[in-house]
Amino acid sequence: MDFKDFKPANNIQDLQYFGEFGGVNPSISDSSTYTFLSAKTMFDTFEGNADGCYLYSRHTTPSNLYLGEALAAMEGTETANVAASGMGAITPTILQLCQAGDHIVSSRTIYGGTYAFLKNFIPRMDIQTSFVDITKLEVVEAAIRPETKILFCECVSNPLLEIADIKNLAALAKKHNLQLLVDNTFSPLSISPVTLGADVVMHSLTKFINGSSDTMGGVVCGSRELIDSLRSVNDGASMLLGASMDSLRAASILKNLRTLHIRMQQHSKNAMFLAQKFEADGFRTVYPGLKSHPGHELMTSQMNKQYGYGGMLTIDVGSLDRANALMELMQERNLGYLAVSLGFYKTLFSAPGSSTSSEIPEDEQEEMGLTDGLIRFSIGLDADIERTYELMKQCMVETLK
């Protein structure tokens, strides 16, 4: 594909699927299994030799393929496979690409579940991971071994919002014959990792992409070869581990995907407004859109500008007690919810050190700058962000004296 003028939202918009009766939405395939007109076709399908035939819904379904193709179009990959959750997309992909004895180099600031999987789970299969500061390319390269197969990072990391230099990481991956796997959950549309050289892009659809906090979902976008291997009935990790998405959910996520561009613009606009205000008020504020952010220029150089710097920001209020008091008051005043996850219409906030990143041992949290008083905000779609700011400011004045 030619990525010179890559427009992810246009790629979604340009898809055209009609439903079975001419509906403007594709029909939902409400079946777990599919009939064959001949026994021979069933055999061929099991052997992987009958394109376009559906077998059994753990393998895939028409609804899942519609959603997968839309997400592949958004990321610029040949195809994609959707899964029942973000972890249901990430873990099989890693297992599919690694054998016992292999090695992974991963950013140390990643989603807590992915971190726990790499650190505590796959060493049982004799797959080892070195965790590195992904912003230091020389440190990343030094960690690569002859048996390294995967370089793993998040474009905008969770929860510290570090920016990965995808272009240079892709060059490193190419030089050492690794696959660059990127989790783009925090920056859908804003960053198109494949256009920068990444091999595989994954998302938790549970977050911004679905955007209504009603559904779990995940996707892996990559080459036809990788996706076919994940779905193989004989040795495909997605097929055999079974974290398959349900068709009803795939259909509902596809409908929400169509407004993602509008939502990302509003999340970004609101987050930028609050980040600038909080910083001016003297709070330690981390947001990639701020000039003070160490990855600001890098983010600016690799983003699709119209979607902005995303909806995530953090402020450090000094201690967990202060963070908790502030979050409880903001919830009481209906400025958002004290909840993990992200991408909702309401602002969500949590203290990651004691929640979503609690899988990471305390000494390692400290080393990476994950402090107790850090609050992670997923800024909502508030229509009047100035009012929201005034009300939040009042909560801060009352709790952070």
Positions touching ligand PLP (CB under 6 A) are 85-87, 111, 113-114, 154, 158, 183, 185-186, 204, 206-207, 216, 218
**Shortest distance (Å) from residue 379 CB to ligand PLP:** 15
The 3-state DSSP composition of the chain as helix, strand, coil percent (nearest 5) reads 40, 15, 45
Cβ closer to ligand PLP: 154 or 279? Answer: 154
CA distance 182 to 203: 9
What are the distances in angstroms from CA 93 to CA 202, 221, 234? 9, 10, 15
**Shortest distance (Å) from residue 45 CB to ligand PLP:** 29
Is the separation of the CB atoms in 105 and 273 below 8 Å?
no
Cβ closer to ligand PLP: 45 or 85? Answer: 85
Cβ closer to ligand PLP: 84 or 395? Answer: 84
Q: Which residue has the tokens 């009958």?
A: 50
- 108's tokens: 């140390």
Chain centroid offset of residue 360 CA: 19
Instruction: State whether residue 154 is helix, strand or coil.
Output: strand
Cβ closer to ligand PLP: 113 or 336? Answer: 113
**Shortest distance (Å) from residue 121 CB to ligand PLP:** 14
| Sequence-ordered strand ranges (E) for 28-145 | 79-83, 103-107, 128-132
**Shortest distance (Å) from residue 196 CB to ligand PLP:** 18
Cβ closer to ligand PLP: 26 or 92? Answer: 92
Cβ closer to ligand PLP: 63 or 357? Answer: 357
Q: Pick from 143, 159, 144, 219: which is nearest to 183 by CA?
A: 219
**Shortest distance (Å) from residue 182 CB to ligand PLP:** 10
Nearest residue to the partner ligand PLP, using Cβ: 86
**Shortest distance (Å) from residue 233 CB to ligand PLP:** 24
